[in-house]
Structure 1
């Protein structure tokens, strides 16, 4: 083969490969946009979701029937009137045909102290302020004309987020919640933070104090997505 023929052949291969790469990237960008739209349709979001579909090439994943890894983030979501921020989404083994399912799914979000404070006030009928102090969740306010401060302990139990008040300090004295009048103590134990609105199949699994609030995690396996999920084919 002449030198000119070799050059022409190489150029043809490069052009063909470039066309495949372009098609792959176009399909990839389209899928990311549709996933972003699906997040907006299925969650009460604040801001526009950012989505990244991992793995290259993308077209081979579609042909195989599932996408290996989908991650996303959004500024905030509202769960039954409770505002959450710094939302992250991690989905593995996402099918590309109905019924859309996710092999494993994880959603993380931060409940700011303002959201927790709102719920604690509503449930306890006490005028308290909630803040993160040296890595711990703390409440402070007035009780019967005396200064009150206490540690708040968040935990997940049977898929529910509960907050209990511990180490109550009143006028410089530490008092057990059990020693408080029942009309007050009962309001400070197992305060439920309502968090409905997550996709069906996702269940709260963890809650830790982090940053300026409580970081919650919801997980699920073989989660069936609503029909609004995008058809990435």
Structure 2
């Protein structure tokens, strides 16, 4: 699990491709402080496993499913990437719950200065993920935990403070660029609980007993949620 607080900007050193499989070697410093084989590091918001490392870089495998669902295929040698290690137990929870599982890529439609901030408007390529995006809720863009400003039928906006812009790859992003998007996982779990066809609410729990598959208002009231 990650929190969406970027630790450093790494540099893509080597990309080996074989069909839709990739092996990436990334130059880094801070995330290598206590790295071990098998550790998870989020690269532009994509949870990847360290398969080898040295004093100045680490290597990860990218499987075809990840290749198809993310913007990693668009990276080239020298590309900057956001890096974050998995959250340590007892660490500060500075952002929100980030799995490193990309829901959709998206296109930056505009980048607009607003006094000391920069407002990015983003259009997800999978419009269905917008049901999880709410004003003042959380969204992850290239691994960065951000707060949604507003939404419409096709896009959403975020406002970026100078520190976040300076410390992440957003400083290099412009209209037309592709980014990785991950919606807040809490909304996805709630939707699954409310729509799973084999579950029914009994005795304060959702159980697979062949009921209607809906959490009802009566159930929520009975169990103190309303």
* Smaller-chain TM-score bracket: under 0.3
TM-score under structure 2 length normalisation: 0.21
Question: Which has the larger share of strand?
Answer: 1
TM-score under structure 1 length normalisation: 0.20
Question: Which has the larger share of helix?
Answer: 1
Asked which structure has the greater CA Rg, the reply is 1
